[in-house]
Amino acid sequence: MEEPVFDPREFSLEDEIVFACHPGVPCFNKCCYDVHLVLSPYDFLRLRRALELSPEEFVEKYGEVYIGEVTQLPIVAIKMNPHDFACPFLRPEGCSVYADRPSACRIYPLARFLREDPETGERQEIYRIIRETQCKGHYEKRPIKVKDYLEEQGLPNYHYFNDLFGKVVTKRQQHAETPLTADQLDLIYIACYDLPRFREMIDAEEIKLPEKLTSKDLEDEERLLEAGIQFVLEKVLVF
């Protein structure tokens, strides 16, 4: 498996890149093999909902759950096919879950970085291009602004939820020397990935949320995921 290389240039939302991916590109589908594809909580929600699977069914059929070596948090990743290391959703005509594909697939060939301006303290959103020799999309003559590419790939909602979950990762890393208990790890997984179980625990008053959710909120899985991440930040990651 080739190690990707980052282009040294940094791109803002207003900068242009040159890239296109479509069935006519000679490398079409080649990037869908032998990939370590970690799913954010929102990635997981979108995929299992599109496939009409419960969290347990999705993990059993397509995923694996483990504790991240760096994040020390529960992680869900997609299992590649054992015989050819292809993504299980890959078909000859392309991605079979394209409308709900993970954010890592959508944003390629870009990588997104968030940092603070040292003078103003404001958040800066920076992008860099990932270069892999197999990818011929860089030779397609289609200039497009970064912000337009992100919109085209349906990334705004993914970025919103990924940034929200990023606060969980940051808070955990700030206290990396303190081990999490089994109960904490279970609650993090339930609140971020097993939303049906999280809803049941709220209904049964087994957990107390930082804010009151209406019955309508409980049926809205995006709203429930927001509440779950906030619950982890305020009630679970307590050191």
| Residues 129-139: tens digit of each pLDDT | 999 999 999 99
What are the structural domain ranges in the chain?
Answer: 5-157, 179-234
- Look at residue 210 and tell me whether its pLDDT is greater than 80: no
Binned at pLDDT 50, 70 and 90, residue 82 comes out as very high
State mean pLDDT over 217-232: 95
Q: Are 187 and 234 in contact (CB under 8 A)?
A: no
Measured CA to CA, the distance from residue 111 to residue 146 in angstroms comes to: 11
pLDDT confidence of residue 214:
84
Q: How far is CA 88 from CA 75, 107, 130, 133, 213, in A?
A: 18, 20, 23, 23, 36
pLDDT of residue 122: 86
Report the distance separating Cα 146 and Cα 119, nearest Å.
25
Which residues does residue 128 pair with via DSSP β-bridges, in sequence order? 111
Q: In the prediction, which pLDDT does 1 show?
A: 59
CA–CA distances in Å: residue 120 to residues 112, 130, 163, 164, 211: 20, 29, 20, 22, 32
Local structure of 11: helix, strand or coil: strand
Which range among 22-31, 56-65, 124-133, 206-215 shows the weakest confidence by mean pLDDT? 206-215
Q: Give the C-alpha separation, 91 to 94, whole Å.
A: 5
d(CA 98, CA 120): 39
Mean pLDDT over the full length of the chain: 95
Residues 100-113 pLDDT 10s: 999 999 999 999 99
Which of residues 215 and 199 earns the better pLDDT score? 199
Percent of the chain with pLDDT over 70: 99
